[in-house]
Structure 1
């Protein structure tokens, strides 16, 4: 089974590249952001809780995120693999994901980190907000999310680097060229 973590700050192109990778490798996409938005849209109890946390510009606690992630994986027993988008965001989440995958005799195959400058991120997200109107793309929330990434989330990379699973990819440039860089790495697995 091919289990990938697509890593990068908000606006790095994870969603765009995930779509292309899912199609090529027939993977199940697990985006914590999409899961949260679905719960919010359906106004579940969890969605209401998550809505307030996100509205405040904070990350959803590990316990909620991991429980939802396990639920999504268990919904897809016939999957050829998964692509994790926006997760893990902390070393504790990475350890919990490894532990859960180990319990079902799986593991992370590789971690693909999209490197994008902060200036490029701001430009991309400003464009994205014009199109999508996503509340989490508002300027104040965006600044907080980018800071959160560079202050906390980026520390997950050494965890996977220590396992020999990390590959860094230049996330600036032509979408198809970035995709080609990703597939070259994935095909080497």
Structure 2
């Protein structure tokens, strides 16, 4: 099974990708993991990416595509994979099609996680992170600490990351709409897209996604 997971920031793609990959026994391939692995291992692509990132520039598509292709060639991806964060634009989607065609493979499904824009803003802008341990995460509305701005786990100060401010979230959504959303129409023309509501409990969303996958 070869799947692409698409959705705006705050849709829960990472969480759903992990559950789906486990259920389907295929690797979860995320752009973030690809970058971290290549940079930490000092691969030629990782060194290129680090150079661009250190200069404050976006990593070019060809570097991201190269990392994704290398990962999809690995043995554990022979029977399938779940792509999360790649492709993120039409150029990357076309490159993925070319790669799959060259290996006589094809995508089985594109799952589009749908969340209303205001819900995305609420989810991300409400996050509060512990300064002592970033794995301690709370939410101003959905998962409030017992004491305002104090971590229940360790007593550390809770704060809002700069990336989580409402202004930044809306900018990230604008980028998603202009760059990534067009790949949904691209894949719709191939008959691959199923749109799934990402509202509700994590398990409910996973069940919807599993039901949307082709059988056989």
**What TM-score results when the alignment is normalised by the length of structure 2?**
0.75
- SS of alignment partner, residue 152 of structure 1: helix
- 1:22–1:149 CA distance, 2 compared to 1 (3 A): same
- 2:172 corresponds, among 131, 145, 149, to 145
Q: Which has more radius of gyration?
A: 2
Name structure 2 gaps, 5 residues minimum: 138-160
Shift of 1:52: 3.7
- The aligned residue for residue 48 of structure 1 is 50
Distance between the aligned counterparts of 2:120 and 2:203, measured in 1? 18
Structure 1: stretches of 5+ with no match in the other structure: none
The answer as to 2:19 corresponding to 1:20 is: yes
Aligned 1:164-183 pairs, distance under 5 A: 164-183=191-210
Question: Is residue 210 of structure 2 the alignment partner of residue 155 of structure 1?
Answer: no
Give the C-alpha shift of residue 136 in structure 1.
Answer: 8.5
Alpha-carbon deviations, 1:121-142, whole Å to 9, x = none? 2232245562459x78343654
**Which stretch of structure 1 is more off in the superposition, 76-85 or 92-101?**
76-85
Number of residue pairs matched?
185
Could you tell me the TM-score, scaled by structure 1's length? 0.85
Correspondence for 1:34: 33
Q: CA RMSD in A?
A: 2.7
Cα distance in 1 between the residues matched to 2:85 and 2:52: 15
TM-superposed deviation, 1:9: 1.0
Greater percentage in helix:
1
Which residue is equivalent to 2:118? 119
The runs of at least 4 consecutive aligned structure 1 residues that moved more than 6 Å come to none
Tell me which residue corresponds to 2:142: none
User: Hey, what's the Cα distance between the residues in 2 that align with 1:121 and 1:166?
Assistant: 21
Could you say which residue in structure 1 is the equivalent of 2:62?
63
1:104 equivalent in structure 2? 103
Cα 1:25–1:127 change in 2 (3 A) is farther
Whether the 8 Å contact between 1:88 and 1:94 is mirrored in structure 2 is: yes
Label 1:77 to 1:25 Cα distance change in 2 as closer, same or farther (>3 A): closer
